[in-house]
Amino acid sequence: MNCSGCGKANADGVSFCEFCGASLRSVPIASSAPRVALPVPAQPVPPSAADVAQMGKSLVSSLSLGEKCIGAGVIATVLGFFLPAVSVSVPEKAGAAVGFILGLLGESSGVDATHASISLFDMTKLLGVVYFILLLAIASGALFYFSRKATTPQKLLISGFQVVIGSLYGPGTIGALLFVPGMGSIAGIGYWLLGLGFCSIAAGGLITISTLGKTAR
């Protein structure tokens, strides 16, 4: 092998010239072929408002009538729990006693010297058992979710539980609003939503049971 530096011959296999010490290793020739750019992964595009609306529309259209009633009832009951359930005027002659009791509910309840707007969430500060109403709504929502992939016998059982949940609070609330004197005048939007929501849950369960019963035949 001839040295590229001094031109003298060297034995095969040596890495450096025996005479001048120049490197005899071959230097790779840069390729003139153009480099191919690697594809850059596309960034995920967030769905637009129209896409979200379309997905929501598709979801609603896939629900049966009973499922729509239950879903609407769950939303109504959860909202009703946090919206004003009772709105009353406090007579000035009641003095500090009524104001003190209402004041225990906190400033968030909208209490002042002459008026009180109270939600069930505010009432939980005095009676923790009121949370049971919210737990019923959450339980109905969980059953609604699991029923989407349940078998027909499971859906019948779940629908029965929905009827029980809705009947525990809905009919009694609506009955009080319609037939108890003065109840309708002090009830707020939250109380109406709770009553109608639970009635809708019970009605949805009954509709689902009726529909599944006809299909089974």
- Tell me the DSSP string of 107-149: GGGT--SSEEEEEHHHHTTT-GGGHHHHHHHHHHHHHHHHHTT
pLDDT digits (tens, 9 = 90+) for 116-161: 678 888 888 888 899 999 999 999 999 999 998 889 899 999 999 9
191-204 pLDDT tens trace: 999 999 999 999 99
| pLDDT at site 199 | 96
CA 55 vs. chain centroid, Å, equals 15
Report the mean per-residue pLDDT for the chain. Answer: 79
* pLDDT computed for residue 79 by the predictor: 95
For the segment 84-108, the average pLDDT, to the nearest whole number, is 55
CA atoms of 109 and 58, how far apart (whole Å): 39
Element spanning 88, H or E: strand 84-89
The pLDDT of residue 217 is 59
Q: What is the pLDDT of residue 34?
A: 63
Q: Average of pLDDT values for 47-55?
A: 76
Q: At what angle do helices 189-216 and 152-179 cross, to 10 degrees?
A: 150
Distance CA 210, CA 201 (A): 14
| 44-73 CB burial, b ≥16 within 10 A, e <16 | eeeeeeeeeeeeeeeeeeebeebbebbbbb
What is the Cα–Cα distance from 105 to 90, expressed in whole angstroms? 15
Q: Give 105-122 pLDDT, tens digit per residue.
A: 544 444 444 566 788 888
Kind and range of the H or E run holding 84: strand 84-89
Q: Nearest Cα to 165, choosing from 147, 184, 188, 144?
A: 144
pLDDT single digits (tens) 166-193 = 999 899 999 988 998 888 788 889 999 9
